[in-house]
Chain A
Amino acid sequence: MKELTDRALEKARGLGASYADIRIVNRQEESIQVKNGKVEGLSAKTDEGFGIRVLADGAWGFASSLNLDPDDIDSVAKMAVRIAQASSQVQRKPVELAPADAEEGEFAFKVKQDPFEVPVEDKLELLMDADRVMRENPEIKVAESTMNFWKTETTFASTEGSYIKQTKTESGAGISATAVGGGDVQRRSWPASFGGDYQTAGYEFVESCNLVSNAARTAKEASELLRAPQCPPDTCTLILDGSMLALQIHESCGHPTELDRVFGTEAAYAGTSFLTPDKLGSFRYGSDLVNITADATAPGGLGSFFFDDEGVPAQKVDLIKNGIFSGYLTSRETAAEIGRRSMGAMRAEGWNRIPLIRMTNINLAPGDWTLDEMIKDTEHGIYAAMVGSWSIDDKRLNFQFATEIAWEIENGSLVRMYKNPTYTGITYQFWQSMDAVAGIDEWHLWGVPNCGKGEPVQTMRVGHGTAPARFRNVRIGVLEEG
């Protein structure tokens, strides 16, 4: 392997690259879907290739190939330099990289049970059991159970002397029950919606999700939602469960702190950010209780790694400290623009994609409340749980999210279930209204396997540590207004 990476780097340098790196990535995937008692997907996928990124004439070029042989190494290195030279024809200023240390070593996340060694029959049995329990409820017309596993080996080498091998195994699972009746359709999921929950872990994580023991309640709630009243319009106290809060952080804290968005390089696709550099260190993002970190070192985090795809070590940094905006997610290129070193957030979906600034694990620090205490302490409000849908403007200010379910809170108790809950607001006003967050006992590191960004689009697996939290004066129930 070292022979091939050395060859690529020497070739690129010989053709005029001032900097080059190569990533060789080998990935194994397994995916299982059970729907209404039938196996609807049982698939395995293997994928291997390499990508060479170069700086030549002060501009970036990247080329990749599935053929890991010396001839393609040479031609791809040559093409990467040629592309960089083409880039340099339309460029305002040459790219500069913040310094990074040369790193060497071989690293692997340990798992208790390799998911690829667990017999397919055992996995199917677990999903079929959960499926059967959900469909015991006659109003459940669609029961879905899924598992996904990835094992990725990455070799990174750069002209600055880094040579790093990393191995990572990721596992996750989830169930969902869709009830249909009376011209309505309602869904509940467990442990999270849109495919479940994921971690950098082995099959032991899937077993810890307790899919079967939560199947009956999940189905029952979906069924009850068909008869629940519509969430009414109101401006009131909102308590979010951890999984919904994970999405809230993802959309309104994670994406706007990506420094490439701030500098406009995603302007034509995902958008930019309201967090301009003049706000760094002074902008009141949230209440004093809001402490959010980017932590690529978090054990089990779906956004954890040893080194990012520029060879920068995994780090834990403050994004929001005591409510004040304190830091960005950065690359070596963007960090140089603000006079800092990279905090290590450059990640590529695979060998055939250039690394971009991506979230790692964006975590809200726990507080000292419990969910029970928050509800008991609330005179009038809504407790909303699990992601339904999401939308946010292209500077990450105006958001509107829907949850799968909500309950009305009256005088400290949950009094009735509501369907189709929505809430909306402006990012910093919303976070400034947070007045309680639950403690470490209710804190969980959620895995989001489907964050999209970039062109060609790259899907990234990221993490969000959250505990339930309370927000005041939030506008809810948009559907019934008017």
Chain B
Amino acid sequence: MLGRAGALDILKAAIEAADADMAQASIRIGEFGLTRFANSSIHQNVLEKNAELAVKVIAGKRIGYAATNRLDEKSICGIAKKAAEFARHSQENPDFTSLPHAKPIKDANTFDGHTAFYTPEERAEDVSGMVCEAERFGAKAAGAISTGYQEFAIMNSLGVEAYNIRSQANLSTVMTAESGFGYADRASINVMDLNPVPAAAEAAARSCESRNPISVEPGEYDVILMPYAVAEFLEFLAYTGLGARSVQEGRSFMSGKFGQQITGKNITIWDDGLNSAGLPIPFDSEGVPKQHVQMIVDGVAKGVVYDSYTAHKEGKESTGHAAPGGDEESAEPMPINMFMAPGDATVPEMIAETKKGILVTRFHYTNVIHPILTIITGMTRDGTFLVEDGKVTKPVKNLRFTDSILERLNHVDMISREPKRQSICVVPAIRARRFRFTGTTEF
């Protein structure tokens, strides 16, 4: 490990070598291990030690950028000079105002030493437990467990100095029981939160429940979307229109809609990088502290997130949402710690209240068809069920959907009271009316 002082020493050397009007240097360094399993066997098992030193140099309004994974003195100096050379040869970007100035950064608990140095033997033991649990259900286990840490430090010539060390543990699994599939995933800064055996049980139970699926005709159905699926809705909203860049270019669903109702009144979505219910991170890739940003409140479009480049274009302050790893102006600010307000229902209540509908565990291979209309398409996967007269009656073969996210969030009538952490979101399950399924497949 470099530690704060070691990391900042490297950045200081890079900024001095750049010898520029303004300069920013950042470093990411860490170790990451991942154990993959399929057919109840470990088939890939890897460890990586890597680093990236990135230098951004500003000469007037000309900007150059260079990066390397070599951290010797000559490479540090060389990459700074390459960025400076690119800045000299570039053309002016009149929209660039300044790198950010320093602001106080709040502490966030982001590191667990056991997780950072979790061993391949420990990961294998976790996989072994999951395989045993799968066998108890008569299922085959596939998935991955990853653990590791990353140090991230950033410095600029205007006084920004920030350092964070972050551990991360992730688990995902797909269980197969004959023609049935089930899924579970977990993520935390602490590997002890993964609880691999209960996760395996969740996925294996669902795989057993989804055996021998029947075909149903595509069409409009009321749907119960589990948090895995709801998280995907939010991720696509983030990707297509919750960053300032897409609004400024007029290609966001938020463009021209601020202050207007864009979803049902029961929908509130915000970003909070410091909330420990998510995966907290104290500052962004420019060293700007994370701000709490309300994006949709009671269904009304309220705000989007900014990095310093997009903020300065509007005379605003960055909200601390520069794209992770995106040191260039072309990278777009994005919310990556999103929350959706819970309701007061439970999933069993949603099922009980549904005359005829489909319960969706998760989506697969979703993609945007129309960003302003927020129309996406994708498949259901790993547990799709028919709900009839208040009961889950049969598993169904996977369905293709093609629908507008905002339109569906305008027709949510039940929201679960216990949100779950999924990917970059903390979200509840929802029931939405008239979800549009447009096709079927053979399994």
Residues of A within 8 A of B (CB): 33, 35, 38-49, 59-67, 79-80, 82-84, 86-87, 89-93, 119-121, 124, 128, 141-142, 178, 180, 183-185, 263-269, 271, 274, 352-354, 388-395, 397-398, 400, 402, 420, 422, 424, 426, 455-456, 478-479, 481-482
A40 to B86, CA, bound (A): 12
Q: List 16 A-B contacts (CB under 8 A).
A: A38-B95, A46-B67, A59-B42, A59-B45, A62-B47, A82-B120, A87-B35, A87-B45, A267-B142, A271-B364, A391-B379, A392-B379, A397-B443, A398-B400, A420-B370, A424-B439
Shortest C-beta distance, B18 to chain A (Å), equals 14
A141 to B93, CA, bound (A): 17
B40 proximal to A (CB < 8 A): yes
- Is A420 a contact partner of B369 (Cβ separation < 8 A)? yes
A66 to B71, CA, bound (A): 10
- Is B365 a contact partner of A455 (Cβ separation < 8 A)? no
* A-chain residues with CB within 8 Å of residue B121 when the two chains form the complex: 86, 89
Question: A63, A64, A395: which contacts B443 (Cβ < 8 A)?
Answer: A395
B window 295-334: CB within 8 A of A: 328-330
Q: With A65-B49, A268-B144 in contact, is A398–B441 under 8 Å at CB?
A: yes
Question: B173, B370, B400: which contacts A393 (Cβ < 8 A)?
Answer: B400
With A43-B67, A83-B46, A268-B142 given, can you name 11 additional A-B contacts, CB distance below 8 Å? A41-B65, A44-B83, A83-B47, A87-B35, A89-B121, A119-B89, A184-B372, A265-B44, A393-B379, A424-B439, A479-B375
Question: A80, A92, A397: which contacts B441 (Cβ < 8 A)?
Answer: A397
Which are the 4 A-B pairs with shortest beta-carbon distances? A398-B441, A43-B65, A268-B142, A41-B328
Q: Considering the complex, give the chain A residue whose CB is closest to the CB of B120.
A: A86
Question: A92, A141, A267, A422: which contacts B174 (Cβ < 8 A)?
Answer: A267
- Is B120 a contact partner of A47 (Cβ separation < 8 A)? no
Q: With A42-B63, A479-B375, A482-B436 in contact, is A62–B45 under 8 Å at CB?
A: yes
Q: With A46-B70, A60-B43, A66-B49 in contact, is A83–B438 under 8 Å at CB?
A: no
Shortest C-beta distance, A6 to chain B (Å), equals 22
- Is B45 a contact partner of A61 (Cβ separation < 8 A)? yes
B6 proximal to A (CB < 8 A): no
Q: Considering the complex, give the chain A residue whose CB is closest to the CB of B381.
A: A394
- Is B378 a contact partner of A391 (Cβ separation < 8 A)? yes
- Is B249 a contact partner of A178 (Cβ separation < 8 A)? yes
**What is the number of residues of chain B that contact chain A, defined by CB distance less than 8 Å?**
90
One of B122-130, B188-196, B208-216, B347-355 at the interface: B122-130
Q: With A393-B400, A397-B442 in contact, is A83–B45 under 8 Å at CB?
A: yes
* A-chain residues with CB within 8 Å of residue B378 when the two chains form the complex: 391
Shortest C-beta distance, B293 to chain A (Å), equals 24
A184 to B172, CA, bound (A): 38
A479 to B82, CA, bound (A): 48
- Is A44 a contact partner of B82 (Cβ separation < 8 A)? yes
* B-chain residues with CB within 8 Å of residue A41 when the two chains form the complex: 65, 328-330
Shortest C-beta distance, A8 to chain B (Å), equals 15
- Is A66 a contact partner of B51 (Cβ separation < 8 A)? yes
Shortest C-beta distance, A220 to chain B (Å), equals 19
Q: With A43-B328, A180-B249 in contact, is A479–B369 under 8 Å at CB?
A: yes
- Is A63 a contact partner of B46 (Cβ separation < 8 A)? yes
A64 to B45, CA, bound (A): 12
Question: B67, B124, B367: which contacts A90 (Cβ < 8 A)?
Answer: B124
